[in-house]
Amino acid sequence: MPANIFHNYQLKNMRKIFSLLLWVATVATMAQQNPPLPVDPKVRTGKLENGLTYYIRNNGLPENRADFYIAQKVGSMQEEDNQAGLAHFLEHMAFNGTKNFPGKSMLNYLQDNGIKFGTNINAYTSFDETVYYMTNLPTTNQNLMDSALLVLHDWSNAIALEEEEIEKERGVIREEWRTRGGAQQRLWDQLLPKMYPGSKYAKRMPIGSIDVINNFKPEEIRAYYHKWYRPDLQGIIVVGNVNVDEMEQKIKALFSPIALDPERPTREYYPVPDNKEPIVAIATDTEARNTSIMMFNKHDPMPEELKNTQAGYLTQYILNAAASMMNQRFAEMIQKPDAPFTSAYAYDGDYFVAKTKDAWTVVAGSAEDKIKDALAAMVRETERVKQYGFTASEYEVARTNILKGYEDAYNNRDKQRNSAYSQEYVRAFTDGEPFPGIEFEYQFMQAVAPNIPVEAVNQTIKQLISDENIVISVTGPQKEGLVYPAEEELLAVLTAVKAETIEPYAEQVIDEPLVPSPPAPGKITKEEKDLAMDATVWTLQNGMKVILKNTDFKDDEIRMTGTSAGGYSPYAVQDPVNSKMMNAVMRVGGVGNFSATDLPKVLAGKTASASPGISLTTQDFNGSSSIKDFETMLQLVYLYFTAPRKDSDAFQSFVQRTETQLKNQEAEPMVAFSDSITAALYGDNPLTARTKAADLKQLNYDRIMEMYQQQFSNPGSFVFTFVG
């Protein structure tokens, strides 16, 4: 399908969804004009005459450091059949000599300046993009800053591609090809031809073809390089403690002379065909750890014209809210005994690896013998949402949490790290994602989101989930005696569930305070100054020590730790299984009057968390909160001291999920190797041995909670530290 026809087809189908947004806006003109989103004014962006795009931002975290990226809108999808693997090979060659840095001199120079290859210098090649980066460079070294720009320049158009280096790199790629990136790579090799029939995505794994790697001529990779590595497909990103004006002038001076071929080929975006009948793809591998099921409801992605508009932004909000509500339902299901899956979540985004098709996607992990049960539950919950949507109270919780996330980001807007901005601008360049800035996003969402009703969410989801464009994938371990359902069996599950009479979601609304009867206030019996730490130390009337230290790392965050000596060591020798599993089990029931799945509803809109933990020698608390929600964090600590909660159903579900996970682990060669090393070092010590699936039969929930209450019975033995 030609690109312009594909584009018009997208636009026609997606307008049905985006028209929903025209009646939810708070301002009348929004419905008439659909205003574009602004560009974050703190980012200097521009485009040179040769088409190269740049993004520059001054940012102070970490201090005196900067990130340098060059993103290319090309990847393995630009390869022809006789070039399969050259995009990835070319990425390797970028580190084997350029015009201004012959041989390994680039890596040697950067590493001599403390920039470590693999950590701070690296690259990746995907289907539709190739990205090179240098991170955490000290900005106090001006020569290094200038050299980093020169490296980006050479990567853009001056990679040497010397024949001798190409021959050396063939061996490196062969070894990478031999290991095939582990089980995931081999599973994808099986899945893609089935998931993308009639699409180029089916045969463009970036690792490529070993025949091509062994036999391509040096001039072929040079031709690919000069054809596709060109300024109109390249974006330069610089973020850190830099002078934006000076950096812009240097980018213009260095990159403007790069010529753009007037007869350059068009960069095609290859479509993914629709499918009327469901597609099923099953893949197995001897080293796969888990059994995973994915169900895709494919749909057209948001047209470029709408991505950077207010309607497009609100559509993404609606999809995020829907995923949040769906995931809360899955969390509740997982806590029940005999749950159909061990994990499950939903999202809307790229259809697996494709940029030209999106999908409402549900992912679940399951026991090996519950694949059909898991798929049935995934289909049933998807149909439930399609038929009945979400409830107003579910939406209120999701919307409150989303808006709270914007508020937290806004309050800490001056404490964002370079890496977050760098990656945001890479996505802006490669995928067209908007970047209006948190100041606009916070104010816009606070004004508009409260006026978007749950009906808009439900109608949008209903449009996305249809009886066509369904793809189901199953991946898992390949081992003796394990038989996977046939494709026909999985299709029969899909058909049967869709024919069921499905009831609306039965929601349990929570309407009570976190702490129903707050305790009487205590007293500070002693206050001291710790000059070495520049901190204040309190002693409370119950004996607890509290250390307070003021910091400016973040503008609206308080971090908490609490520690007391003891741990599970008193029980470890006589009861090793319950002792070692205590840390994982003691929180599964929730706390106070709330189950583990109800607790997030009570905390909706609050930035506060706190949870207990236990090790061999200590019992601990860890938590964090905003300034406004500091008391909520303390209330959680109070409840974990005074009102730990048991939930037998949640415990049984935990045991079942953990048994599946441990059985999967035991099939891995590396786990057996690790067990052998542990046995050689520590013998048969039960405290160092890995917990096995068979050990779970010894778990005693009552005993674990009894040990918990004993070790957390004395708040006066704790030292709490608050930093913020």
Q: Rounded to a whole number, what is the distance in angstroms from the first to the last CA of the chain? A: 56
Calpha distance 365→380 (Å, rounded): 16
- Distance between CA 321 and CA 459 in Å, rounded? 13
**Model confidence band, residue 3 (pLDDT cutoffs 50, 70, 90):** very low
How far is the C-alpha of 91 from the C-alpha of 89, rounded, in Å? Answer: 5
Quick one: pLDDT at residue 17? 44
Cα dihedral: 306, 71, 437, 445 (round 10): 40
Q: Which residue has the higher pLDDT, 238 or 22?
A: 238
* Statement: residue 668 has pLDDT above 70: yes
189 domain residue, yes or no: no
Q: Are residues 241 and 99 in the same domain?
A: yes
Query: Residue 515 corresponds to which tokens in the numbers above?
Result: 């702490």
Alpha-carbon distance of 659 to 695, in angstroms, equals 9
The model carries a pTM of 0.86
Which strands form 234-240's sheet, in the order they lie side by side?
A: 44-47, 53-58, 234-240, 65-72, 130-138, 121-125
Q: Is residue 95 part of a domain?
A: yes
Over 60: is that where the pLDDT of 645 sits? yes
Residue 86 within a domain: yes
Give the integer Cα–Cα distance in Å for 321 and 400.
Answer: 10
251 shares its domain with 363: no
Distance CA 55, CA 66 (A): 13
Residues 6+ apart with CB under 8 A from 260: 50, 51, 230, 231, 232
24 vs 129: which has the higher pLDDT = 129
The confidence band for 29, taking pLDDT boundaries of 50, 70 and 90, is very low
β-strands 53-58, 44-47: how paired? antiparallel
628 and 679 in one domain?
yes
Residue type, 215: N
pLDDT in the model for residue 180: 62
Indicate whether 510 belongs to any domain. Answer: no
In sequence order, the β-bridge partners of residue 235 are 53, 71
DSSP string, 401-424: HHHHHHHHHHHTGGG--HHHHHHH
Task: Report d(CA 622, CA 627) in Å as an integer.
Answer: 16
- Whether 244 and 300 map to the same domain: the answer is no
Helix (H/G/I), strand (E/B), else coil: 724:
coil
Q: Read off the pLDDT of residues 437-463 as tens digits, 9 standing for 90 and up.
A: 999 999 999 999 999 999 999 999 999
Whether residue 71 contacts residue 129, with contact meaning beta carbons closer than 8 Å, is answered with: yes
- Do 594 and 636 fall into the same domain? yes
> How confident is the prediction for the chain on average, in pLDDT?
92
- Residue 448 in contact with residue 314, Cβ under 8 Å? yes
Q: Looking at residue 297, which CATH number applies to its domain?
A: 3.30.830.10
Q: Which helix (H) or strand (E) holds 723?
A: strand 719-723
Model pLDDT, residue 511 = 84
| Domain count for the chain | 3
Give the position of tokens 């002379």: 257
SS3 164: helix
249-253 contact pairs (CB < 8 A, 24+): 250/146, 250/149, 251/54, 251/56, 251/149, 252/48
> Which of these, 434, 408, 429, 395, lies nearest to 310 by C-alpha position?
434
Rounded distance between C-alpha atoms, residue 18 and residue 34, angstroms: 10
Q: What is the pLDDT of residues 187-198, one digit of tens each?
A: 999 999 999 999
8 pLDDT higher than 50: no
> Please, which pLDDT band fits residue 324 given cuts at 50, 70 and 90?
very high
Residue 679: is its pLDDT beyond 90? no
At 553 the pLDDT is 86
- Please identify which residue in the block is written with the tokens 């390797």: 92
Q: Among residues of the chain, what percentage have pLDDT more than 70?
A: 95
> What is the DSSP track for 3-35?
HHHHHHHHHHHHHHHHGGGGGT-SSHHHHHH-P
Local structure of residue 98 (DSSP, 8 states):
B
Cα–Cα distance between 201 and 355 in angstroms, integer?
10
**pLDDT reading at 546 higher than 80:** yes
SS3 503: coil
pLDDT at position 83 is 96
Confidence grade of residue 181 (pLDDT, cut at 50, 70, 90):
low
Between CA 612 and CA 583 the distance in angstroms is 8
Q: What is the pLDDT of residues 333-344, one digit of tens each?
A: 999 999 999 999
Tell me: do 87 and 218 sit in the same domain: yes
pLDDT-wise least confident of 238-247, 475-484, 541-550, 660-669: 660-669
Q: Is 397 domain-assigned?
A: yes
DSSP state of 669: H
Is 190 inside any structural domain? Answer: no
Say which amino acid occupies 11.
L
Let me know whether 30 and 52 are in one domain.
no
Q: Which residue has the tokens 């708070």?
A: 26
The reported pLDDT for the residue numbered 326 is 98
615 vs 22 pLDDT, higher one: 615
Q: Is the pLDDT of residue 7 over 50?
A: no
Give the tokens for residue 557: 């965050």
pLDDT at 131 over 50: yes
Tell me whether residue 233 is exposed, middle or buried, using C-beta atoms within 10 angstroms of its C-beta: 0 to 12, 13 to 18, 19 or more. Answer: buried
Confidence band of 352 (pLDDT split at 50, 70, 90): very high
Q: 223 pLDDT exceeds 50? A: yes
| pLDDT score, position 31 | 39
Which two tokens mark 339? Answer: 């749950």
Report yes or no: 195 and 352 within 8 Å, Cβ to Cβ: yes
On whether both 145 and 233 belong to a single domain, the answer is yes
What does 42-55 look like in DSSP terms, one character per residue?
TSEEEE-TTS-EEE
Radius of gyration of the chain (CA): 28
Mean pLDDT in residue range 693-704: 94
pLDDT digits (tens, 9 = 90+) for 492-513: 999 999 999 999 999 888 889 9
Q: Do 399 and 481 fall within a single domain?
A: yes
pLDDT at 274 over 50: yes
Interval 54-63: pLDDT, tens: 999 999 999 9
Residue 170 lies in a domain: yes
Of the candidates 713, 598, 611, which has an alpha carbon nearest to the alpha carbon of residue 647?
598
Say if residue 442 is in the same domain as residue 367: yes
- Report how far residue 494's alpha carbon sits from residue 70's, in angstroms, rounded to the nearest whole number: 44
Do 502 and 384 touch, CB atoms closer than 8 A? yes
pLDDT at 442: 97
Judge if 115 and 132 occupy the same domain.
yes
* pLDDT over threshold 60, residue 266: yes
**pLDDT for residue 10:** 44
**Same domain for 222 and 318?**
no
In 550-701, the DSSP E strands lie at: 558-565, 608-614, 618-625
Phi and psi for 501 in degrees, rounded to 5?
Answer: -90, 110
Domain assignment present for residue 264? The answer is no
Q: What is the pLDDT of residue 22?
A: 47
Cβ-Cβ contacts under 8 Å for 300 (sequence gap 6 or more): 9, 10, 13, 14, 357, 358
pLDDT for 547 = 97
Q: Which of 231, 255, 279 is the last residue of a domain?
A: 255
- The whole domain housing 463 covers 3-24+26-35+271-414+432-498
